[in-house]
Structure 1
Amino acid sequence: MARLDGTVSVVTGAGRGIGREIALHQAREGAKVAVLARTKSQIEETVSLIEEEGHTGLAVQIDLTSRADVERALGRIVDELGPIDTLVNNHGSFRAFGPIWECDPDEWWQDIEINLRGTFHTCREVAPAMRSRGRGRIVNLVGGGTGNSFPNGSGYASSKAAIMRFTECLNDTTKDAGVMAFAVDPGLVRTAMTELQLNSPEGQAHLPGIQELFENGVNIPPERAAALIADIAAGRFDALAGRLLRGVDDRDELEREMTRLAENDDRALRFSGMPS
């Protein structure tokens, strides 16, 4: 019996890249998977891959910045697949590169809105039903700039740091009811987002470090984050709820270190050297 048999998973940004791998891993573990993104053709392709392996998928086109659209989409998922057990917020936007005085203000804010507001909308809709059922796991993807400065990537970094803190707040609000939230950093993965950073004039001018990292062999397979998130959905890392887990982590070592990490308040967004 697969670990997620009888459960329902929702994965945003699942039309390609990391999100597609997450959706496929959830399905392979037995979950019925709702695949969400803006582009209909991409989510339909992901669902086709899920169905080719004999699993159940549902393509749902969505604008995550629209509260009404999120309510409609998640309502449809519950109607067609059943109550949601796992929510994975994988969607992301990073188009505003450069010093803030050179960034288009609307584009900078759109990165914030898609990343942070989209995550807020899905969590706000899913968490109450999970609380009433006494169980559920929410995974919010973070990334570069979450716990450190990201020169020339301030919009993306600000949104990801905010998602990390939001995840901690959400977990502390819901864990007593059996609903746990986690942050996951997949690492530097070759995706459409990083291709834009590598190939656009703005990305080449303002984010040369990305190219250097790839040239030095840093390229984390998306399967690493997908396997980690499948473990989270199955309950393997419940002791680390509210904290940051990484695609580069050795999951067996992480499991052995869970108690110590929690006791030391590690993998959290904290001021260094200051009392809490």
Structure 2
Amino acid sequence: MNRLDGTVSVVTGGGRGIGRQIALTQAEEGAAVAVLARSAAEIEETAAQITASGGRALAVPVDLVQLGAVEEAMARIEAELGPIQTLVNNHGAFRAFGPIWEVDPEVWWQDVEINLRGTFHACRAALPAMRARGAGRVVNMVGGGTGNSFPAGSGYASSKAAIMRFTECLNDTLTPEGLRAFAVDPGLVRTAMTELQLDTPEGQAHLPGIREMFDSGEDVPPTLAAAVIADIAAGRFDPLHGRLLRGADDRDAVEAEMTEIAEDDRRALRFSGL
């Protein structure tokens, strides 16, 4: 008996990297998995890996910036796989590197729109059915710049800080109805996104620290974030709803401290020093 048997998970940005690993891990735990992204070929490959291992999967190509398309995707998932229990908003964009007077304003805004608006749309489309059932969990991915300044990645950082606050607002709205929302920071993972930072002239010029961190051995495997999210989907970290978990966390230690973390109001986006 697997922890997520009989459940349905939706993973956005599930065609590669961290998202693919999240989808595979959800399936290994027993969930039927819907994999969403704009690239049909990539999500079909993820779905094929799941079905080849005996799982159930559905690849749904969708542009998360288009609300109508997202609503249609969620309706299709409910019709073909069943009620959604877990929504993982893993999609992301980070292409605007450098100070704001150098970056292309359209590219900067696209980072924000894909990350933040895409998360909003996925939640808005999936939550009515979850609310009607009085059960469900949402996981929103955050990252660099969520809780600190990131001058050469201001669009990405602004969107991720906003997603953290959105997660808190969402959670506080949903908790009375039996639903929960969480934020997860996967850490520095070598993905197509980080390769873009390493290989482009703009990334090399404005984000040299990324190369330095990889060269020093900092490279968090995507399996860690996937394991945290599987724990969240299974209810292990329910006392920390509305808060941040990290791929690099010692999950046993976090579980042992959950009461204290909540009482001390840690792992949240708050003003400090006031």
TM-score normalised per structure 2: 0.99
CA distance in 1, matches of 2:256, 2:198: 37
Could you say which residue in structure 2 is the equivalent of 1:230?
230
CA distance in 2, matches of 1:128, 1:250: 34
* Larger displacement relative to structure 2 (198-207 or 123-132): 123-132
CA distance in 2, matches of 1:270, 1:231: 25
* Larger displacement relative to structure 2 (241-250 or 120-129): 120-129
CA contact (8 A) 1:127 1:179 kept: no
Could you say which residue in structure 1 is the equivalent of 2:255?
255
Is 1:142 equivalent to 2:135 in the alignment? no
Could you say which residue in structure 2 is the equivalent of 1:174?
174
User: What does residue range 46-65 of structure 1 map to in structure 2 within 5 Å?
Assistant: 46-65=46-65
Question: What is the letter of the counterpart of residue 121 of structure 2?
Answer: H
Could you say which residue in structure 1 is the equivalent of 2:89?
89
Query: What is the Cα deviation at residue 128 of structure 1?
Result: 2.0
CA distance in 2, matches of 1:126, 1:241: 18
Question: 1:153 aligns to what SS in structure 2?
Answer: helix
Could you say which residue in structure 2 is the equivalent of 1:216?
216
CA contact (8 A) 2:71 2:126 kept: no
CA distance in 1, matches of 2:196, 2:187: 17
CA distance in 2, matches of 1:232, 1:23: 14
Query: What is the Cα deviation at residue 131 of structure 1?
Result: 1.4
Could you say which residue in structure 2 is the equivalent of 1:78?
78
Is 1:161 equivalent to 2:161 in the alignment? yes
Query: What is the Cα deviation at residue 134 of structure 1?
Result: 1.1
CA contact (8 A) 2:147 2:161 kept: yes
Runs of 4+ with deviation above 2 angstroms: none
Question: What is the letter of the counterpart of residue 250 of structure 1?
Answer: D
Query: What is the Cα deviation at residue 176 of structure 1?
Result: 1.1
Question: What is the letter of the counterpart of residue 215 of structure 2?
Answer: E
Question: 1:152 aligns to what SS in structure 2?
Answer: helix
Could you say which residue in structure 2 is the equivalent of 1:244?
244
Which sections of structure 2, spanning at least 5 residues, go unmatched?
A: none
Question: 1:82 aligns to what SS in structure 2?
Answer: coil
Could you say which residue in structure 2 is the equivalent of 1:8?
8
CA distance in 2, matches of 1:263, 1:128: 30
Give me the identity figure in percent. Answer: 73
